[in-house]
Amino acid sequence: MGFASALAYRAEFLIWVLAYTMPLIMLALWTAVAAEGPVGRFGERDFAAYFTGTLLVRLATGAWVVWDMNFEVRQGTLQRRLLWPVHALLTYLAENLAALPMRFLVVAPITLAATAWLGLSLWTTDPLQLSLIPLSLLGAFLLTFFPMAMIGTCSLFWESSIALFDLWLAMYTVLSGYVVPLELFPPQLRGVVELLPFRYMLAFPVENMTGFLPRERTLHDLAMQWAYVLAFAVAAAGLWRVGLRRFAAFGG
Amino acid sequence: MSPASATACYKCAVIEVDGLMKHYSVHERPPGMAAALRSLFSRPKRLVKAVDGISFRIDAAERVGFLGPNGAGKTTTLKMLSGLLLPTAGRARVAGHVPFERRPEFLSSIMLVAGQKQQLLWDLPPAETFELNRAIYGLSRATFQETLDELVSVLQLEELLQKPVRQLSLGERMKCELAAALLHRPRVLFLDEPTIGLDVTMQAAVRDFIRRYNERHGATVILTSHYMEDVAALCPRVIVIDRGHLVWDGSLGDLVRSIRPEKRITLTLAAPAAPEALAGLGARLVSVDGTQLRLQVPQAELQGVVSSVLSCVTVSDLTVEDPPLEEVLADLFARQSP
């Protein structure tokens, strides 16, 4: 149904996809900077590869559950979901996952175009890293979804939690590698940043698929990613349970 | 004042409610900029006792009307019984489950249909919502198709299944909502103003459908409605709630006889009657409208008054009925006012 709903508004979906321009802007910006000389170990080609990967990961792992939750709580339409004999978080997850095929319709040609432009060296050639691309993307999606679901659940307490999500999004923009590769952070900060979940939402799958991640770190970082997924999943379920007890179900 | 139903079967109660309460803490803020700024630091709260200790039992296959003025606590009670709201205090069991535990077996055996809310997916045809419900409730294809065919036939949905919900009229949407709600054959059906906004034809169709569903499948139906035609047509038993308290639980007929032990006589005269003729009828004159008179008479004096009327004036039509349910309830609520 999520896929069907996404198809119902084809023009809106296309506009939404076109709105994901930040990685392309960063690509243009950083390649222009690197034209004067490499920044760290990133030359022009490296920046192009990194931000192409960023665009692909961002398109493939986005979620919107926080807006759905806030809307349904304020409009009183959460009732429909709560009457189903399925945990509400699972229904939100299914709806967000169901729209991914539509996104991959966009990701696939971009991937092909980027490969044609930059060559196969755009991607890692390591068999381990290649095989872990799907799992790392799934982990990135879930690590996007569950914190969003937690923030959305706060609307059961506060009626609206969009401002809290804006704060989270600001932190994500800086700390996930979305605008600056984490490798370029000052060493004093890099250690802290690599402990935070944001890296595993974007930078880790990008570095893995482009081969920027040292092979010996791959499994460790994958484990960190999925440890965060598990932690946020449990936290989201717990917060939902508490929030439902506070839910006032106003509206009709 | 409120005798319990004489036919209660204590071994087969589907719904058991004991001292159920729901209290809300509501923030209040007067209008104006100053009040808005003050509310940043301090917001006065008020405790609202939406439901304040109600108890009742409903047996399997009963149809019960749940009545009360706006804000009485009807919808809040239905939401607690369907697991949407955590009660503040008290106990409730529905179909053998504690509603707020929200077990899948419980949610699969009930449905709440609210006339003002929808479960249909707005951007997609109703058929897609039906398929979604089939998957969610784990219905086999055969069971689903059999139930769907029945619902489509009875509710005349053939032309509507492929149209996006946003393009359906209110009446068409309501029929599809009922179909979506009943696909999994719930044992307990909570109907919160299901005919609101519908025209009289559609209201009658929905009422007829609910009665047939109850009779055919033995489902327990709890209905709230401000349309007394719904209640009179569907509910032999009514529970009346006012300001969070239960004020009546019994048959509709007993309620009417208890509050307004009178009959309403409507006369259509062959010609307008002279005032002297009207004075001798021996009943309270409620209204005069040309050749149509409405009289109110105590039940015990009905035969005498009718005989007197027929001897005083020439009557072309005469009906005897209970006072309008709206007036009965208005009297009941007026008696409850402090």
Per-residue pLDDT of B282-335, as tens digits, reads 678 888 888 888 888 888 888 888 888 888 778 888 888 888 888 888 888 888
Mean pLDDT of B151-167: 90
Q: How far apart are CA B101 and CA B91, in angstroms?
A: 12
Does position A252 have pLDDT exceeding 50, yes or no?
A: no
Mean pLDDT of B278-283: 67
**Facing B123 at nearest CB: one of A5, A82, A244:** A5
Average pLDDT, chain A: 89
Q: How far apart are CA A78 and CA A74, in angstroms?
A: 9
Query: Could you give the residue range(s) of every CATH 3.40.50.300 domain in chain B?
Result: 13-17+53-257
Per-residue pLDDT of A115-174, as tens digits, reads 898 888 889 999 999 999 999 999 999 999 999 999 999 999 887 899 999 999 999 999
pLDDT value for A201: 97
- Report the SS3 class of residue B54: strand
Mean pLDDT of B153-163: 90
Q: How many CB pairs under 8 A join A and B?
A: 66
pLDDT value for B1: 39
Average pLDDT, chain B: 86
Per-residue pLDDT of A209-228, as tens digits, reads 999 999 999 999 999 999 99
Does position A18 have pLDDT exceeding 70, yes or no?
A: no
Whole-model pTM over 0.90: no
Q: Do A82 and B105 touch (CB under 8 A)?
A: no
**Facing A84 at nearest CB: one of B107, B121, B192:** B107
**Facing A5 at nearest CB: one of B112, B124, B131:** B124
A80, A90, A242, A244, best to mutate vs chain B, most B CBs in 10 Å: A80
Query: Could you give the residue range(s) of every CATH 3.30.70.1150 domain in chain B?
Result: 261-321
Residue found by looking up tokens 């946020």 in the block: A232
Mean pLDDT of B242-267: 89
pLDDT value for A92: 95
- Report the SS3 class of residue A212: coil
For chain B, give the percent of residues with pLDDT over 70.
93
CATH T-level topology, domain B261-321: Alpha-Beta Plaits (3.30.70)
Write down how long chain A is: 252
Q: Do A82 and B102 touch (CB under 8 A)?
A: yes
How distant is the Cα of A171 from the closest Cα of chain B, in angstroms?
Answer: 26
State the DSSP H helix or E strand holding residue B152, giving kind and residue range, or none if neither: helix B141-155
Q: How far apart are CA B171 and CA B176, in angstroms?
A: 9
CATH code for the domain defined by B13-17+53-257:
3.40.50.300
Q: How far apart are CA B260 and CA B242, in angstroms?
A: 18
Residue A79: closest CA among chain B residues belongs to which residue?
B84
Does position B203 have pLDDT exceeding 70, yes or no?
A: yes
- Answer yes or no: are the C-beta atoms of B58 and B64 closer than 8 Å: yes
With CA atoms as reference, report the closest residue to A129 among A239, A225, A206: A206
pLDDT value for A1: 64
With CA atoms as reference, report the closest residue to A210 among A118, A120, A124: A124
Q: Which residues of B touch A2 (CB under 8 A)?
A: none
Q: Which two tokens stand for residue B290?
A: 């040309």
Mean pLDDT of B61-72: 92
Q: Can you name the residues that pair with B57 across neighbouring β-strands?
A: B16
B29, B45, B84, best to mutate vs chain A, most A CBs in 10 Å: B84
DSSP-assigned letter for residue B190: E
Per-residue pLDDT of B6-54, as tens digits, reads 344 445 799 999 999 999 888 777 778 887 777 777 777 888 899 999 9
Sequence ranges of the domains in chain A? 2-246
B177 interfaces chain A, CB cutoff of 8 Å: no
With CA atoms as reference, report the closest residue to A68 among A151, A182, A187, A185: A151
B100, B124, B190, best to mutate vs chain A, most A CBs in 10 Å: B124
How distant is the Cα of B137 from the closest Cα of chain A, in angstroms?
Answer: 7
Q: What are phi and psi of B244, to 5 degrees?
A: 80, 0
- Return the amino acid letter for B97: H
B164 interfaces chain A, CB cutoff of 8 Å: yes
B128 interfaces chain A, CB cutoff of 8 Å: yes
pLDDT value for B8: 44
With CA atoms as reference, report the closest residue to B223 among B92, B106, B63: B63
Per-residue pLDDT of B77-95, as tens digits, reads 999 999 999 999 999 999 9
Q: What are phi and psi of A119, to 5 degrees?
A: 90, 170
Q: Do B104 and A86 touch (CB under 8 A)?
A: yes
In angstroms, what CA-CA distances link B109 with B97, B99, B104, B112, B179? 10, 11, 9, 11, 15
